Chain A
Amino acid sequence: NAGVMQNPRHLVRRRGQEARLRCSPMKGHSHVYWYRQLPEEGLKFMVYLQKENIIDESGMPKERFSAEFPKEGPSILRIQQVVRGDSAAYFCASSLRSGGAYNEQFFGPGTRLTVL
């Protein structure tokens, strides 16, 4: 399977706990994006990363949320001290580094976070 992979697919946390969401981009892609989707809404941009760099985090809440894309391993979206309002589907997308296709972002299956 050469697609974008996300895990876990479903995550349940109690208020105050930490949530870690993982994303492995498509092979050959070095650009990763995280989006959040509330029920019956479109996706909202959170953060854009390249390997070891955060390029644009303008859509990510300033507190409790962080993201990384290390040199080795998957990209991680981390939510500390989760609250009920964090319950949503979190999608990761990836795109090619440069040339060829412009901004075709391919999405993973998402992680559905439920905060009790």
Chain B
Amino acid sequence: KAGVTQTPRYLIKTRGQQVTLSCSPISGHRSVSWYQQTPGQGLQFLFEYFSETQRNKGNFPGRFSGRQFSNSRSEMNVSTLELGDSALYLCASSLELASNTQYFGPGTRLTVL
């Protein structure tokens, strides 16, 4: 069974632009979560989606948003990019909302210049 896939793997943007990252969960998995990984802050939870609804949200500004489609694929969007948004963005999928075991994709490396 294919794992979690994320596209693109690498992105370079400039300050003020917006960006959309995509995540396809493992087949049959219905819950998708997003995490940001930076050297300074480590791994931080962004949000979780299940049945096209945001179920849980981390402590990030409103510039960070996401959505989930009926096929469980998810996208996250960051508007008005700042230098501090440079990070590895990881997507994780799990079977159900409360299945407690998440499987991660390879991540999207975003660089903001």
Are A and B subunits of one complex? no
